[in-house]
Structure 1
Amino acid sequence: MAGNEVRNRGNVNASPSAAPATTAEPDEKVLKNRPKASALRQQRLPAWQPILTATTVIPAVFCVGIVFIPIGVALYLASSGVEEFRVDYSQKCTIGQPCTVPITIEKDMEGKVFFYYFLSNYYQNHRRYVKSRNDQQYMGNYDSTTDCEPFDKMSMPDGTEKKILPCGAIANSMFNDTFMLFTDNVAGIPANTNVTMTTDGVIWEVDEQRKFKNPSSDWKDGDCTPFQNYTKPPNWPVPICQMHGGMQNVDFIVWMRTAALPSFRKLHRILQPDGLGHFTNGLPKGSYRLQVQNNYPVSTFGGTKEFVISTTSWAGGKNGFLGVAYMAVGSLAILLGIIFIIIHIKFGHSVDELSNINRQS
């Protein structure tokens, strides 16, 4: 009996219903987010690595010199062909007073003639100065004066505050000297003839049509009604509504395009024929009188002012730096090419020697 009970218990424990369930584990785990087996994703794209040898480097260096030197010569000759006259009137005129500066042009300025003003040591590229403006205001949202501090608003005599239009340090420091040029002793032109200048072509079309806007398309000069809730910048003699063109005043737009260098020139006017047959081919040589209304002080920052008359070429104005730079780089490349040839002849390996090295390795 006892043995049967033991056997029965053993059979019970060994029954299939009591056996634990087992699961078969796969040999490999399934990898999630695995990149596709493409050449691009698996970084198996064919590659080319240049091997710099004397036969490839030396001709490339000579090619750079051969290309750069003629370009530099052409740029330098184009710049040399530009006629330019400059007169510094900083010390010749008193601030706030008109003055006359004699000018003698020794060569005919043929073609298109441009009139510039030049400022030195001004640093119009200063970070805080460049940021002190609000383009939204200039585009027509006159109440927007963000980033214009401290030239965003001004207290009025009656105790109220008005927003400045146009706001910002750039607008407040606008250049306001005026120029008039008259003939004195020029062949074929009577004395005291006014040299006619125009603003056509001075500013970019995008500035006039999109970046600077008046209250309406039919706004007229001198209509200050739309601007009555605003005041002029502290340094301005008159409000914007009394300036020719209002917010689209040419001198204002030119000044608002800040310069990248501490000393710069800005385009003021362009020569225009006077309708009497004068100045049709440019500005002839002779004696002239420049009448300046000297309003802009430069002694406070140690700068100077100049009036510039210049022609242009296909390469721009008179600036020989780019041509000299091209010629210098080209000459340096030719010199380096010669040095590389000498080094290669004296210390380099021939093709046969390199092939022997490859076989030995």
Structure 2
Amino acid sequence: MIKLLIADDSALMRKLLQDIFVAEGDFDIRLARNGAEALDLVRSFDPQVITLDVQMPDMDGLTCLSQIMIEMPRPVVMVSSLTAEGAEETLEAIELGAVDFVAKPSGAVSLEIDRLRPVLVEKVRAASKARIRRTLRLTERVRHQMRSAVTARVRPKPARRRPVSGAGKPKQKPGPSALPGLVLIGSSTGGPAALDAVLPSLPGDFPWPVLVAQHLPASFTGPFARRLNSECQLSVVEVGNPMPLQAGTIYIARGDADVVVAARATGIIAMPAPARASYLWHPSVERMVLSALECIDAERMLGVMLTGMGNDGAAAMKKLSEGGGRTIAEAESTAVVWGMPGELVKNGGAGLVRPVDDIAEAIVELVGAHASH
């Protein structure tokens, strides 16, 4: 049996969520009405996984999550709205250690719950087996977050790790030069925290553009890109319209759509594309990599597969590797869910396998070695 704690201030939502997991037949469930009750049950019930509402009375979800991650770290799936405020709160929760999130039904909850059911069950099952990232210094993150909350929730720019190489230059404006190469990064469950470990460690003079497909809703990728931009030496933008791929920039694919790479008379561009039903996850890592292979030599690309549920992008990155490109898969020891990188390793497409804290260094070394040839 999987021990599950459901924390939500809505009696209806608690009942609907409880019914979903009771029907699965292998969940032992407890319910909490607010963060304080949830903390008590974490101590007494010792759940393997928690679903946690962001907005609750007495003690909200973020405060509760902070305490859980300091005292009793375990997998937490946030239940949040798709509003701009909900996106910001959920990204804060992921920074604090939540492994995933589920969007609340936007209309009549009782009518939309069946649509939510398969996604919720899949994410909670995956989270119950997820690893908490000790390497990301959760306690340090939590305490920083709690200090920030005291000062009217004004978010100071955190001290970042020194770049793994390079002169640590300030953000440079993209130049018009030809595309020397391209880094393609795919991630899903646990990905925002993994990207936060990798991207800020790339130096300000990193010579290739970086294109990222992280499975997120459309309302989340803009705030996510802005947060990363405040932390990275490279500029970070959301791909909301066709953009030239240029050194000095990290491009985050817009959520609920796909991102494709295309050749134009002016150079290589990235652009959003309507999500295709033939791809299960969006933004699709598979479609991003395949589109890049159509217009850029594989030898000039580096594919990086970070934590994530499923197998999105594994086949395409194997094709990139077989064409002479380089690939890196996150090691099982640090991946929250070793689905996507694990599939790349299993299909023989991973050139290197590295823990998340070593991936930025590996990226810089591989790109530097390519430039020296």
| Pairwise TM-score range, normalised by the shorter structure | under 0.3
Q: Which has the larger radius of gyration?
A: 1
Which has the larger share of helix? 2
What is the TM-score of this pair, normalised by structure 1?
A: 0.21
Q: Which has the higher contact order (CA 8 A, sep 6+)?
A: 1
What is the TM-score of this pair, normalised by structure 2?
A: 0.20
